[in-house]
Amino acid sequence: MNGIQESLARSPQMFPQLLDPHSDSVSFVDLTRADYEKASFLDGRILTPRTPTRALPWRDVAEAVGSAGLKERCGLIFHIGHVGSTLLSRLIGAHPGAFALREPGILRTFAQIMSEPAGMPATWSGEDVERRLSSMLKLFSRTFDGGQLAVIKATSFVSEPESYIATILGGPNSREEAKILAPSRLRRLHKRLGRDVWSSASLSEGERLALAWVCEMSGLAAAAGSAGERAARVDFDEFLADPSSLLGIIRHFGIDANAAEVRAILDGPDMRRYSKAPEYAYTPALRAAVLNQAREQQGHEIRRGLAWLDRAAEQFAQVRQAIALASSPTRYP
């Protein structure tokens, strides 16, 4: 093996941070175990002006992955954002049998290409996209310790709709993010429904948030239908009410965990910190207070969003399937 192949095979230290479809190249950065543990987002936010990067042509990356004999073996956490997925990722990653990766930016690139193929390079076919995605998952499946499973938290752009709407309305940054993402979510939902139905300008903020919930949750419903027994639904509010259910969540990934290990993880700092910025304290009680304040101040918009959801469910089976998934019981080993 050459130097690149040896580096890729040895550990996840050589991390694929960026895929440039137009130059068909992948940029790598060096990350230590501590860097992975610290990072809430493995995208451009891990870079500083002094971070060295190395861009390699795709053909070299593909050859190195193949020669190194890397395997695609990983667990995945799918979500729509602001539903506790970062905390769950940190808790799972605290177990010695798991290696947690949070929101690799390259997965977002593939999601955008697949949802809007017009942005795909003209020289790429659908098979080209699948081959590149498979190679990336093989790279993300590498771990520092033998026997670990890489558990990747994907990026989202779910929970019960009322709780989701209240969560977004409870924070100015999340409201701004939702406004920015609204056009792409509307396009994706219309594509899933097979026709254009709504215009963003005609919807109130609460209705746009309900549409965002339907867009992402209907995608999860379709994925859950394809995955069958491999998929397990986690309700974050139920998890906070009974954090010991973390044992079943970890075991769902095939990781050998026991109750004593889970108690030690839950007694650690993660349950008392804001998972996206661990330097700040954040507890389940504080989260509940933020939600209740949003319900009190934004109750009208929440009700408008839920009424829109009811009307949409009368029209479209995909919306009813999303609601059914959200209402289904949680299950894991």
pLDDT in the model for residue 156: 64
pLDDT in the model for residue 160: 63
Average pLDDT over residues 4-14: 84
Q: Grade residue 158 by pLDDT with cuts at 50, 70 and 90.
A: very low
Burial 4-40 (b: 16+ CB within 10 A, else e): bbebbbeebbbbbbbbebeebbbbbbebeeeebeebb
| Backbone torsions φ then ψ of 123, nearest 5 degrees | -85, -10
Q: Does 151 or 273 have the greater pLDDT score? A: 151
Q: Round the average pLDDT of the chain to a whole number and report it.
A: 88
Q: What is the dihedral of CA 126, 85, 74, 65, to 10 degrees?
A: 60
Residues 79-89 pLDDT 10s: 767 678 899 99
Torsion sign across C-alpha atoms 325, 149, 282, 276: negative
Residues 194-232 pLDDT 10s: 999 999 999 999 999 999 999 988 888 888 888 888 888
Q: What is the DSSP letter of 330?
A: P
Q: Grade residue 31 by pLDDT with cuts at 50, 70 and 90.
A: very high
Using CA atoms, how far apart are residues 287 and 272, in angstroms rounded to an integer? Answer: 11
SS3 104: coil
Residues 117-145 pLDDT 10s: 777 788 888 899 999 999 999 999 999 99
Average pLDDT over residues 280-284: 78
Across 3-7, 33-37, 107-111, the highest mean pLDDT is recorded for 33-37
SS3 159: coil
Using CA atoms, how far apart are residues 29 and 17, in angstroms rounded to an integer? Answer: 6
Strands (E), the chain: 14-20, 25-30, 54-57, 74-77, 98-102, 149-153
Q: Grade residue 331 by pLDDT with cuts at 50, 70 and 90.
A: low
Using CA atoms, how far apart are residues 249 and 88, in angstroms rounded to an integer? Answer: 9
Q: Do residues 210 and 303 make contact, with C-beta atoms less than 8 angstroms apart?
A: no
In one-letter notation, the amino acid at residue 162 is E
Tell me the whole-structure pTM to 2 decimals. Answer: 0.77
Residue 114 token pair: 């697949």
Q: Do residues 232 and 249 make contact, with C-beta atoms less than 8 angstroms apart?
A: yes
Using CA atoms, how far apart are residues 276 and 39, in angstroms rounded to an integer? Answer: 8
CA angle 159, 35, 286 (to 5 degrees): 35
In one-letter notation, the amino acid at residue 46 is I
Alpha carbons within 13 angstroms on the beta-carbon side of residue 267 total 6
The dihedral region occupied by 199, where left means phi > 0, alpha psi between -120 and 50, and beta the remainder, is beta
pLDDT in the model for residue 12: 95
Q: What is the DSSP letter of 215?
A: H
pLDDT in the model for residue 329: 67
Q: Is the pLDDT of residue 288 over 50?
A: yes
Question: What is the CA 152 to chain-centroid distance, rounded?
Answer: 8
CA angle 219, 225, 230 (to 5 degrees): 110
